[in-house]
Amino acid sequence: MGKYKGEGSLAVRPKTTEEVSRILKHCNERNLAVVPQGGNTGLVGGSVPVFDEIIVSMARLNEVKSIDPLSGVLVCQAGCILQHLDDRVAKEGLMMPLDLGAKGSCHIGGNISTNAGGIRYLRYGSLHGSVLGLEVVLANGEVLDVLQSLRKDTTGYDLKQLFIGAEGTLGLVTAAAIHCPPRPKAKNATFLACATFSKVLETFRKAKADLGEILSAFEFLDKESLDLAVGTYEDVKSPLPGSPERFYVLLETSGSNEDHDNEKLHAFLEAALESGAISDGAVAQDGTQLKAFWRIREGVPEALNTHKAMYKYDLSIPQSTMYGLVEDMRARVGDRAYTVGYGHLGDGNLHLNVVADAYSEELTSLIEPFVYERTAELGGSVSAEHGLGQMKADCIGYTKGDSAVSLMRLVKKTLDPKGILNPYKVLPLPGEVTPPQ
C-alpha cells in the first residue's frame, strides 16, 4: 500500500563518520534499534520507525570530498542530495548516473541503500555498476573502508555490493565513490502515441535498433496515467491533445552531436510512423519543451500521490506480458478505484498504481495477494527499484527461494548479530513463512 508514517521518540543527526560510529557502538552495546534516514522519500516505509527505533538522520553528512574530471569519479558523503550532486558535477562536464522524480530531496546514501533505478537506468545501468566504493559503519561501530575509486579491482569479495540495496539493514553508508558519465552535449525528447501495448514494444525494439547508443530513456504511460496527470495539474499538457490512443511513450536521446542525433531521431520517427508502430509523435523543439515532456512523466506519480488511498506496486515484469497485469487488475477492481500502468519500460519496470478515495478491506482483498501471485507466475520481481522496506518485508518469498532467503538471514546475522539495524524491514521476521500460504 502507500505512504508510511512512523513515530520515533529520538532522532540523532551525526555530522561525521566518527559520530555515526560512536552512535552505533553505543546502541549495539545496549541493544537499541536504529533506523537510518536519508531524504525520507522512500515509498515502502524503509526510513521510518516501526516502533521505537532511534532515527539516525544522515542529512548532516553532506560534503563533496572530491571530483576527478578525468576519471569521472565523485567521492561524497551519504547525505548529499542527488540534485545538488548533479548540479555540482555538471560544472566538471559530468552527470550523476541516476535521476528520479525525488532528486530534489533524496540522498545518494538512500539511493545506494535502495539501489534506486530511475529514468537514466536504461542508459547508465544499476548503482551496482556505477558505485565504485563505499564507507560503511557496521552495527558494532566498526568502519568498513572500501571507498576505492578504481573502476577495476578484483582483490577478494566485492563487499560494497552487500550494502547496495540493503535498505540500511546491514550497515550505515557514510560515503561513496561513484563513476559519473560525461554530461551529454545534445539532448532531445519525443512524445509518441501508440494504439496498442504491442506497438509500444515494437517501438521500443525499433528505438534500440535505430537509435542505439543515443537512446537514453524510454518511459511509457497508459491513457489513464496521462489523463490523470493532465487533469490534475495546469502545467501538464499533452503535446498530442485529443489523441485517441491508449499508450504514450516519452523517448529521450542524449549524445555529443546535435545534428547527428537529430538526423537519427527523425529517421527513426519516419520509419516508426511508416510501419504503424506509432500513430503520432511530437519532437521537443527546445529545452523548454523537453522539460515540459518530462513534466508529464513526473506529474503521474505526483498526481497519484494526491489520493487518500494509494496501492503502489513497483514490479519487474517481462515486457511482453507487463501490461496484461494492469488490464487484469483494472478488471478486478472495476470502478471501485482508478488503475494506472506506467514506468521504465526499457528496464522492464512497471509502476502499477490503484488509487481511490479510501482504503477498504474489499479493495485491498481484490488487489493483494493477487498482484504478488501474478507477478510470481510471470517470473517477475515484487520490487524492481523501490526496495521491500516494511511494506513488502513479508513478500520476498514471491521472488526469492528459501535457499536465497536463508543465506540472506545468515549475512544479516553475521553483520548485525543483535538485529539493531532497521529491524522489521526487508526480510520476514524469523520463522515467518513467505509467501503467505
Residues near ligand S2G (CB under 6 A) are: 43, 101, 301, 304, 312, 351, 353
**Listed ranges 66-74, 115-123, 248-256, 324-332: which one lies at the site for ligand FAD (CB under 6 A):** 115-123
Least CB distance to ligand S2G at residue 353 (A): 6
Q: Which does 351 bind (CB under 5 to 8 A by kind): ligand S2G, ligand FAD, none?
A: ligand S2G
Site string for ligand FAD, 289-318 (x = CB under 6 A): ------------x-----------------
For residue 221, state whether it binds ligand FAD (rule: CB under 6 A): no
Least CB distance to ligand FAD at residue 61 (A): 8
- Distance CA(114)–CA(387), nearest Å, equals 6
Q: Which is nearer to ligand S2G, 2 or 423 (CB)?
A: 2
Contact 318, 177 (CB under 8 A): no
Task: Determine the residue type at 250.
Answer: L
Give the H or E element holding residue 350.
strand 349-356
Least CB distance to ligand FAD at residue 78 (A): 4
**Listed ranges 153-161, 281-289, 381-389, 394-402: which one lies at the site for ligand FAD (CB under 6 A):** 381-389
Q: Which is nearer to ligand FAD, 118 or 255 (CB)?
A: 118
Say what the alpha-carbon torsion angle 41, 45, 47, 52 is, to the nearest 10 degrees.
140
- Look up cell 518511459; give the residue: 219
- Distance CA(347)–CA(343), nearest Å, equals 9
In DSSP notation, 385-428 reads: SS--TTTTTT-GGGTS-HHHHHHHHHHHHHH-TT--BSTTSSSP
- Distance CA(339)–CA(335), nearest Å, equals 9
Q: Which is nearer to ligand FAD, 102 or 333 (CB)?
A: 102
Q: Which does 346 bind (CB under 5 to 8 A by kind): ligand S2G, ligand FAD, none?
A: none
Among 8, 13, 68, 101, binds ligand FAD (CB under 6 A): 101
Least CB distance to ligand S2G at residue 275 (A): 28
- Distance CA(179)–CA(149), nearest Å, equals 8
Main-chain phi, psi angles of 339, to 5 degrees: -110, 130
Q: Which is nearer to ligand S2G, 117 or 168 (CB)?
A: 117
Q: Which does 38 bind (CB under 5 to 8 A by kind): ligand FAD, ligand S2G, none?
A: ligand FAD
- Look up cell 539495524; give the residue: 421
Extract long-range pairs of 290-295: CB within 8 Å, 24+ residues apart: 290/187, 290/188, 290/189, 290/252, 292/235, 292/237, 292/239, 293/189, 293/190, 293/191, 293/239, 293/250, 294/189, 294/250, 295/235, 295/236
- Binding residues (CB under 6 A) for ligand FAD: these are 35-43, 46-47, 58, 78, 100-102, 106-107, 109-111, 113-114, 116-118, 167-168, 172-173, 301, 385-386, 389, 422, 425
